[in-house]
Amino acid sequence: MTATTHRTIAIESADGATSVIETFGDDGPNVLFLPALGVPLHYYRPLLAEWASRGYRLSGLELRGMPQSSTSDVRANDFGYNHALALDIPAAVEQLEPGPFLLVGHSLGGQLALLYAAAHPDRVRAVVTIASGSTHHGAFPGAAARAKRRLQVGVVRGVTRTLGWFPGHVLRFGGRQPRTMMSDWGFEGAHGRFVLAGSDVDHEAQLADLRLPVLMLTLDGDPTVPRLSSDHLGARLRSAAVSTVHVDRAQNEGVAFDHFRWARRRPGAVLAPVAGWLDGLG
């Protein structure tokens, strides 16, 4: 893999919160990458560096609550989806060169990518979601999986209400998160639609009106986001040109994909179908 330039750029959102974007590469089409819930940006450096080596300029955003943000203490700083959509992603976008860019997100980042693109379709060239879908119990295959997801969502919501924040580092899901973030996550999990705290926008209507190209990738064997979960979210994009790709475990040495480890161990397994799809866009 060809070495690529790596820079860290400080950004400040309109409410005074600070974070960073990390850029890889100097030339090529702009790509803005959004991480999964509770995953620090540095985890994705192998993915971003390899993608940049293929002729793209990658910018990854450190989300709130993560180590390089000023809001890393989630018991002292409350925030939710709308902070990312209305404050942090716009601050990152200001650092990109003028013109539409490719917006990519993993898991929660894929949800945020779709919601931002639906609100600002003129700023985005296309959207790619990786292992991203609905958290609603109806988006999981089989009665046992649906019952398990219903229980999981109920536990997350109950613990968050009781403590005022979510100790995901103890429960082994999502890391430490503030009340509003898990309230937004839990509402979609319980009802199958986005209603975000602090926002009066009809996000479901915006998603239904989105007319951009969208690629939704799922990973064979991923226990967190099965194909049906991604399809459930994609079905809400009624006007978009949605393409779906299921990356077979043969691309992972025959082993079922982990929801996270592909980004460090097998980034090429995801980049190959994305590159083919982008080539088709012209």
pLDDT at 22 over 60: yes
pLDDT at 110 over 60: yes
For 158-196, the pLDDT digits (tens) are: 999 999 999 999 988 899 999 999 999 999 999 999 999
CATH superfamily, with its number, for domain 6-135+202-281: Alpha/Beta hydrolase fold, catalytic domain (3.40.50.1820)
- Helical spans, DSSP H, in 107-251: 108-119, 143-163, 168-171, 179-191, 203-209, 227-234
Q: Give the per-residue pLDDT at 196.
A: 98
Which residue is listed with tokens 């009802």?
191
* Residues sharing a CB contact under 8 Å with residue 134, sequence separation 6 or more, in sequence order: 188, 192, 229, 232, 233
Q: Give the per-residue pLDDT at 3.
A: 65
For 9-18, the pLDDT digits (tens) are: 999 999 999 9
For 221-245, the pLDDT digits (tens) are: 999 999 999 999 999 999 999 999 9
For 240-256, the pLDDT digits (tens) are: 999 999 999 999 999 99
> Does the pTM of the predicted model rise above 0.85?
yes
SS3 state at 100: coil
Mean pLDDT, the chain, integer: 95
pLDDT at 1 over 70: no
Map out the domains of the chain as residue ranges.
6-135+202-281
Q: What is the 3-state secondary structure (H, E, C) of 164-195?
A: CEEEHHHHCCCCEEEHHHHHHHHHHHHHCCCC
